[in-house]
Structure 1
């Protein structure tokens, strides 16, 4: 009964160092992304802000296609997950997986940084209600898939140079099952982004 939870706990404990490393990479990307907002020219900032304000003004009159938002969300997230999963099968995954994680952090940091920098308190509320809910699931999932990929890459590297023997079929089965679990979580995040966050945005426009 307690076998599966114990295996999961042992896995996280064993790879805690990698989790911290990948998390810091993500945080670094987020910080740099938020700083990059300040590098936008005044014209770029004004044009983007005018677009956002126009969106808020007209959002009540816009027919929201929830299924399209859901599809775009899971498409983007599953593409990232698939990229990380494939990279984990090779040695090149060791440098490239952190790069992908860093980029995801950069995009998130830039987005949140722009809203907060241009809208102030309203931007904070917008970020909390429309960006945070799905990312509570997306961020741990992407980081976990990245850690799994780096762990497998390290195993491949170790076996190549030190000639260790591993039960690769069993190892790969666990790897794909682990990633599949988090891909399901990403689909759940897509449901939140597609069907719940837009409702929050509509409610928020009453106060912006």
Structure 2
């Protein structure tokens, strides 16, 4: 009996997820392309930095990598707490921006910025350390971003959809009764993605930091 009920619950969740993806597939594609554009521009901007700027950045990163291999980096617990705070701020800001029409471009900007930071960081490590830099950047950023990026993209898509719904209701002056249902669905999704962001913070502190330390010690020092 319990197995049957569990199967029914899973089936309903799967149907809801399929419907969600079908109705918002265009927005998901838009957000994904926006993120990739941010990655591209991040790499371009890194390449356009002047020699003095690159040297200053290289000195800072070199000091950090030296401390990392010497075991003087932040404790895993501190990394987890910091990453959790950063991730939750991203999720919270997207949720807040999605509650108003004027927040729509801010959500777009946040998605672009996330891609920009990743693209800039990877491009810098590759330019500075060649293929070892690529390995180091992947070790330090890929594990947690496999969770963080989809979570933020889901939040951004939901936020954009809710903002567009506000516009539609404002012009049509009807369907306001359904707006509360949309808000509950939007908030529920954001809460779920906040949970994913917390898991990503744990991955960053307990997995990525160790992988990056190992990669730096083997490939550079």
In the superposition, the TM-score normalised over structure 2's length comes to 0.89
CA distance in 2, matches of 1:5, 1:146: 21
CA distance in 1, matches of 2:57, 2:69: 20
Cα RMSD after superposing both structures: 1.4
- Residue 43 (structure 1) aligned to one of 44, 52, 58: 52
- SS of structure 2 residue aligned to 1:40: coil
- Matched ranges for 1:1-208 at <5 A: 1=8, 2-61=11-70, 62-165=72-175, 166-204=177-215, 205-208=217-220
Pairs aligned (count) = 208
What is the CA distance between 1:63 and its match in structure 2? Answer: 4.8
CA distance in 1, matches of 2:104, 2:74: 40
What is the CA distance between 1:55 and its match in structure 2? Answer: 3.3
CA distance in 1, matches of 2:109, 2:65: 34
The Cα offsets for residues 116-147 of structure 1, whole Å up to 9 and x where unpaired, read as 11111011101221111100111111110000
The Cα offsets for residues 88-119 of structure 1, whole Å up to 9 and x where unpaired, read as 11111322211111111111111111111111
CA distance in 2, matches of 1:10, 1:192: 30
Query: Taking structure 1 as reference, are residues 63 and 17 closer, same or farther at Cα in structure 2, changes over 3 Å only?
Result: closer
CA distance in 1, matches of 2:98, 2:165: 10
CA distance in 2, matches of 1:57, 1:8: 45
CA distance in 2, matches of 1:77, 1:136: 13
What is the CA distance between 1:45 and its match in structure 2? Answer: 1.2
What is the CA distance between 1:180 and its match in structure 2? Answer: 0.5
| Residues 39 and 115, structure 2, Cα contact 8 Å, conserved in 1 | yes
What is the CA distance between 1:11 and its match in structure 2? Answer: 0.4
In the superposition, the TM-score normalised over structure 1's length comes to 0.94
Runs of 4+ in 1 over 6 A off after TM superposition: none
